[in-house]
Each structure stands twice: as structure tokens, then as C-alpha cells.
Structure 1
Amino acid sequence: MNEELRLYSYWRSSAAYRVRIGLNLKGLAYETVPVHLLRDGGEQLAPGFAATNPQKLVPVLQHGQRLFRQSLAILEYIDEVWPDPPLLPITARERQRVRSLAQLVAADIHPLNNLRVMRFLEQEWNVPQPERDVWIRHWIGEGFNALEALLRDHPATGTFCDGHVPTIADCCLVPQAYNARRFGMDLSRWPTIASIERACLELPAFRDAAPDRQPDAPPSN
């Protein structure tokens, strides 16, 4: 398929970060369409973007005239359309494990810590920033405790979450590790997670997807 790819993204969005990694692993060229989640109250909340995604969230992948939403569904879409290199293992049992690891991050950790939840805590319940940071660290820690247990000593765990080839599980792990560090968490508490993250960041596909390398990232000081 030669239709152009556009990714509606925000440089620090974990979900968009996952999709950037997947696109890079596939070697797919794409145009970034920045959606600033903070400017003017959040560009994702503007009526124009709501027509692109009624959930008012990023990422959205545009492939030709079609729009695709939800990061894990996007990753599976690109894996089906461009199967090499694969983002999922061969057997159903292996695919189930990889999907469960990815969803542990995307469905159980990330939603409790994303921007709209933090805004609600601040604006509706007047929760101060220090308490919000405690909330974030608590739920990342709970999730990472489970993720570490599922990865540690499992025969399928290799250099990456599953064997020696990155999968959608690694696409989810690395952005969440970035978020953990952003909130002052020491990943040495989870040595398997930390080891997998280091292996991922040795690959250009992961490094080039990093938040500070995005065209909409603010200039570094």
C-alpha cells in the first residue's frame, strides 16, 4: 500500500509514543501532525479534532483517507498490513502472552495516570500536585510489580519481553518506563523491566521515537 501515513501525535503522549515505535520498527515513513494537549486548554478538545477522534485523544493514524484510533489497535493494524518484521509472535499462545503484557501497561497502568485523569483530580477535586504525583507513582509501581513478576524467570522472556525480537509489549513498556522516570521513579526496583528497556533503547527505532526527538518537542535548554 502506497497511501501516505499521518500520525496525529503529541511529543509526550505515551500512547502516541507506542505507535511511533511500531511505525519505526516497520521502517514506515509517516508525517507527524502535532496535537498539543496543553496549548489553549488542549487542542485535542477543539471541535475540529473531535471530528477526527470523538474520544478527543491521540494517537490517530491516517492511512490514505481512513482514520484509525486506539494505540494497540493501530499497532495490530500496521502489523497486519505490513507483516515484516512482525510485532506479534507466531503461535496463538505466544501472541496471547504478548498481548496481555501490552494490555497490562496500556489498559491497567496508563489510564490511571493520563492527562485527563490528572486534570480531573486537579480541577474537580483540587488535589495538589504532590498528591497527584504520589497517585501516579503508586499506580505505576503496582503495575510494574506485576509486570516484573510476569517477565522475571519466564522461559519466553529474552532480550525483549518475548524472545529476542521486539513486539507490541516492548512498544508499550518503553513509554511507560519513560513516564516512571519522569516522575522520579528508580527502575532498579524492577531489574527485568530495566534490562529490557536498555535493550530496546539500543535500537534506532526506539531511540528515534523518544519524546525529545519529536518535531513538536520544546527546545531543550
Structure 2
Amino acid sequence: MKLYSFFRSGSSHRLRIALRLKGLETEYLPVNLRTEQHFEAQFKEINPQSMVPVLAHDSKVLTQSPAIIEWLEERYPTPALLPANADDRAHVRAMAAIIGCDIHPINNRRILEYLRHQLGCDDAAVNAWCATWITAGFDALEALLGADKKRGDFCFGHAPTIADVYLVPQVESARRFQIDLAPWPHICNVDSACAVLDAFRLAALVMQPDAV
């Protein structure tokens, strides 16, 4: 497997976590978003959308982290990142979607670049934008975590699921945008539980491209 990734990309980070949890090794190929390497013709041939991550396996080229993670779950079902029960799977997917659909897409690099360069927003305005949507999503997720009285140390049950895979990179992003995490103790506890696991720790230790 070849993984095209950028060290600070939240969607790339979540895929790296999922691959580590599955025990899968990849050839790591950094794509430098800061120098707009993703817009170069060579990479656009790989992914016409000019986005990371991309996972190349045999003759397949897989894009979009939710689709790739679901593919990993089907192709490599052990250890499972989704519960066995359909109702529980829906619950875990909903928690992941709070981040993957409602927080991350409007706080990712291309949106922030538009805010900076097309709308003339300064760093304070960009951070306020990010804080607005992270706060709204984290408030909802915190409530869901608090309502689950059977939950262990993770977002669901006693082992990581895709909800944790999505959450940890978003917590890292919140810290980068100088957001105080104190209002969300359940989220902080989940992040701490994940931090001691090799899969999460090693997923964060990736090659940074030049000009970072």
C-alpha cells in the first residue's frame, strides 16, 4: 500500500490511525500542501480532486477518508472499528459524522485559505471561525459521550472505534487553533485514553515535508 498524506491534514491523520489500528504498513508518500504540490499535474493524475489522503493498493486508487476507512473495515475486519450491533454502528457513525461532516470540512485548509486570501480575514478571524464550528460540534459530541453510561474510556465501549479515529485529529486541530478544551472533559478523557495507544501515537509521528 502507498499512502499519500500531509502531516497536518486531519483526514490524513484519521486514516493513518485506522491503518495503525488494523496493523497495516504503508509506504508513506508526503504531499506538501503548503507548496501546493497537490495541484501539480503528477498528483492530479492520481487524484483529480487534488486532495489527500489517497491510498493506492494493487491497481486501485482509493480517495476520501470515510470511504477508505469503510473499505479497510470490510477488507480487514479484525480488529473491528465498528460495533457488531446495527444500532450501535449507527451511533458510532453518527459521532464520526459530527466531525467528518459538520466540523472538519468547513475548517480544512482550502476553506481557511479562501477566508484569508479571498475574504481578507486575519488570523484572529480565522481562529474565531474555526472555534465557532468546533465548539458547536464538540458540544454535541460531549453530550452524547456523557449520556452513554455504559461507555468505557473511548467514544463507545472499551476499545477504539471510528469515532475515536475521527475525534483525535480534531482535538489536535482544536489545540492548533488555540481553543480551550476545558468545557469538554469527556472528549479530553477519550483523547488521553487514545494517546497511550501505539496506533494513535505512531500515527502522529509522520514525515513532515520541506517548508513546513
Match of 2:31 in 1: 35
Inter-partner Cα distance in structure 1 for 2:147 and 2:79: 26
Inter-partner Cα distance in structure 2 for 1:89 and 1:155: 17
Match of 2:100 in 1: 106
Inter-partner Cα distance in structure 2 for 1:23 and 1:141: 28
Q: Equivalent residue of 2:103, what SS?
A: helix
Match of 1:62 in 2: 56
Aligned length: 212
Inter-partner Cα distance in structure 2 for 1:100 and 1:172: 11
1:215 equivalent in alignment to 2:207: yes
Match of 1:88 in 2: 82
Which range moves more in the overlay, 196-205 or 127-136?
A: 127-136
In structure 2, give the amino acid aligned to 1:21: I
Distance 1:159 1:217, change over 3 A: farther
In structure 2, give the amino acid aligned to 1:91: N
Inter-partner Cα distance in structure 2 for 1:95 and 1:105: 16
Sequence identity percentage:
43
Match of 1:158 in 2: 152
1:138 equivalent in alignment to 2:132: yes
Inter-partner Cα distance in structure 1 for 2:100 and 2:175: 17
Inter-partner Cα distance in structure 2 for 1:209 and 1:185: 22
User: Conserved in 1, the CA contact under 8 Å of 2:19 and 2:25?
Assistant: yes
Q: Equivalent residue of 2:182, what SS?
A: helix
Inter-partner Cα distance in structure 2 for 1:77 and 1:70: 11
Q: Equivalent residue of 2:96, what SS?
A: helix
Query: 1:156 deviation in Å?
Result: 4.6
Query: 1:177 deviation in Å?
Result: 0.2
1:201 equivalent in alignment to 2:162: no
Match of 1:118 in 2: 112
Match of 2:9 in 1: 13
1:72 equivalent in alignment to 2:66: yes
Q: Equivalent residue of 1:28, what SS?
A: coil
TM-score (norm 2): 0.96
Inter-partner Cα distance in structure 2 for 1:17 and 1:67: 18
User: Conserved in 1, the CA contact under 8 Å of 2:32 and 2:210?
Assistant: no
Q: Equivalent residue of 1:187, what SS?
A: coil
User: Which deviations, in whole Å up to 9, do the C-alpha atoms of 1:161-204 show, x marking residues without a partner?
Assistant: 11001011100000000001111112121000000000001100
